[in-house]
Amino acid sequence: MKSYFKNILLLSVVYFPLQRASARAVKTDSLLSIPLTLNQVWERAASYNKAVQMKQLHLESSVEQIKNAKAERLPDINIEGEYARISNMPVYENGIFKSPTQFEVLHSTYTVGADAYLNIYNGNKLNIEIEARKSENKIAAEQKKLTLSEVKLRAAAYYLDMQRSIIFRDLLLKDIEAQEKQLRQIQSLKANGVVLKSDVLRAELKLSRQKLSLVQLNNDLAIANQKLNILIGLPDDERIAPTTSNVLDSLTLKTNQAYLTDAGSNAYQVKISEQETELRKLQVKNVKANVLPRIGFFAQYKYSYPQIFLYPYSPYIYGIGLAGIKASFSVSSFYHNYHKAKVARLEYESQEVEHAQTQDNVRQQVNEAYLRFNEALNRVEVSKTNIKQATENRRIVSNTYFNQTSLITDLLDADTQLLQTRFDLAAAQIAAQLQYYQLQNVTGNL
């Protein structure tokens, strides 16, 4: 995905395409298009994008995990029942190879009872488990924000791609109109024997290429439209009309250090890494708790038949209950837990290093995005200057050509350079806006 955005940001001049009839169709189709601002596109992405929906479900699942961990504080209660048939009991008074005496027993037995256990202390493992689930919930929340930010960046890329294609198309249509007018002038000069037929052929060839280029440009617009529709949950054939204008003039650029400070506290990758480090720390505590005792209240009560709990036995139902405090301690955990604790500690230290690396990566991304954004702004200013120069150059060459002091190739080159500089300006403005959104994305503010 990163390379995709990089390619968009490095765009200069692309496209040309579509015949005249399709240009008229575009104007007609625009009446059926849905006008959407970029903020409206982002709102739809937050509600209908499938990747965001999956992260939302994961977040809701993590909330239930917290509730499930807290529910472990409640007592364990079990109800059981048992029924059995008992055979006669042979008594071998004279040895196993002699006939036994059959001892009559009650042939039916049953038990019905219940027991409960309430944990008081188990090395604080339950509280550690709850804190771990809370950390996972925070990670899920930040992952959802990160996914939404990336989706908004992709939506902005498609949205601006459509804007750029529309601007290119309008520029190209105006240029085609100017080229047709110029072709008529050249044809008039040819009819008067002032210029060669090759001049007319060159002008016609260029005009033909411009018209054919519009086809590709309209296809690019349709492709970007469909990608955006899929991203924000609209039907594939729905037409979107971008309405957000150039926002560069309204942007307030902060210092690089200010953006780095924002990223340190707001960047989603940093927050996720912080919680993953906290999880590893809780894992260390959880492993250490294995060598601590377990204490809890227990109670049980049952009805049984017959009474064989105390002698003499009797063929009656009896009930008996127990209640008290149970304590247990695993001596073997001292040697079984040694390597587990060491592994947990090493994983925690590894996560701390990974967290520091994440911070380094975010700083690098912020610095790169900041420099690229400033570079894009400079490219916009240079493109504006180039348009002025190309416009003046085209005026001079046009005058000299029609005064028969320059060649048709000079005139066509001047036309191409002027159109190119206009394309460059549009592409630079779009790229600068997208780079600004990329800067907001890496700082956690998109």
Model pLDDT for residues 45-100, shown as the tens digit of each residue: 999 999 999 999 999 999 999 999 999 889 999 999 999 888 887 888 888 888 88
b/e 391-416 (16+ beta carbons within 10 angstroms → b): eebbeebbeebbeeebebebbbebbe
Domains of the chain, by residue range, sit at: 2-442
Res 284 pLDDT > 80:
yes
Torsion 306-310-313-317 (CA) sign = negative
Residues in the chain: 446
Count of beta carbons in the 10 Å neighbourhood of residue 146: 18
Res 270 pLDDT > 50:
yes
Model pLDDT for residues 142-172, shown as the tens digit of each residue: 999 999 999 999 999 999 999 888 888 888 8
Give the chain's end-to-end CA distance (angstroms, integer): 17
> Beta strand pairing status for 34-36 and 240-242?
parallel
> Taking Cα atoms as reference points, which of 256, 269, 323, 361 lies closest to residue 114?
323
Rounded mean pLDDT, 268-288: 92
pLDDT for 3: 43
Residue with tokens 């002027």: 418
Q: Which residue has the higher pLDDT, 180 or 440?
A: 440
Angle subtended at Cα 19 by Cα 16 and Cα 24, rounded to the nearest 5 degrees: 110
Averaged pLDDT score across all residues of the chain: 84
Count of beta carbons in the 10 Å neighbourhood of residue 172: 24
Res 271 pLDDT > 50:
yes
User: What is the rounded distance in angstroms from the CA atom of residue 334 to the CA atom of residue 407?
Assistant: 94
- Per DSSP, 195 falls in state S
Res 385 pLDDT > 80:
yes
Q: Are the CB atoms for 224 and 32 separated by under 8 Å? A: no
Residue by residue, DSSP assigns 386-432 as HHHHHHHHHHHHHHHHHTTSS-HHHHHHHHHHHHHHHHHHHHHHHHH
Question: Which residues of 198-353 form beta strands (DSSP E)?
Answer: 240-242, 294-305, 318-328
Q: Which residue has the higher pLDDT, 184 or 229?
A: 229
Count of beta carbons in the 10 Å neighbourhood of residue 240: 22
Torsion 20-23-28-29 (CA) sign = positive
pLDDT bucket at 28, cuts 50 / 70 / 90: very low
Residue by residue, DSSP assigns 162-192 as HHHHHHHHHHHHHHHHHHHHHHHHHHHHHHT
Token pair belonging to 2: 């990163």
DSSP lists the bridge partners of residue 305 as 110
Residue with tokens 């002038």: 185
Model pLDDT for residues 342-369, shown as the tens digit of each residue: 999 999 999 999 999 999 999 999 999 9
Model pLDDT for residues 179-218, shown as the tens digit of each residue: 788 778 778 877 877 777 887 788 778 778 878 888 888 8
DSSP lists the bridge partners of residue 241 as 35
Q: Which residue has the higher pLDDT, 21 or 322?
A: 322
Measured between alpha carbons, how far is residue 344 from residues 127, 138, 281, 284, 337 in Å? 18, 21, 8, 5, 10
Q: Are the CB atoms for 46 and 148 separated by under 8 Å? A: yes
> Taking Cα atoms as reference points, which of 1, 12, 33 lies closest to residue 158?
1
Rounded mean pLDDT, 1-19: 37
Which of 30-34, 254-258, 337-341, 342-346 bottoms out in mean pLDDT, i.e. has the lowest?
A: 30-34
Angle subtended at Cα 418 by Cα 393 and Cα 382, rounded to the nearest 5 degrees: 90
Rounded mean pLDDT, 271-282: 93
Model pLDDT for residues 427-436, shown as the tens digit of each residue: 898 999 999 9
Query: Cα dihedral angle (263, 269, 274, 275), rounded to 10 degrees?
Result: 140
Measured between alpha carbons, how far is residue 26 from residues 160, 345, 429 in Å? 18, 64, 23
pLDDT bucket at 6, cuts 50 / 70 / 90: very low
Angle subtended at Cα 163 by Cα 414 and Cα 146, rounded to the nearest 5 degrees: 130
> Taking Cα atoms as reference points, which of 117, 109, 79 lies closest to residue 318?
109
Helical packing angle, 125-191 and 2-9, nearest 10°? 30
Question: Which residues of 122-273 form beta strands (DSSP E)?
Answer: 240-242
pLDDT bucket at 311, cuts 50 / 70 / 90: low
- Assigned CATH topology for domain 2-442: Outer membrane efflux proteins (OEP) (1.20.1600)
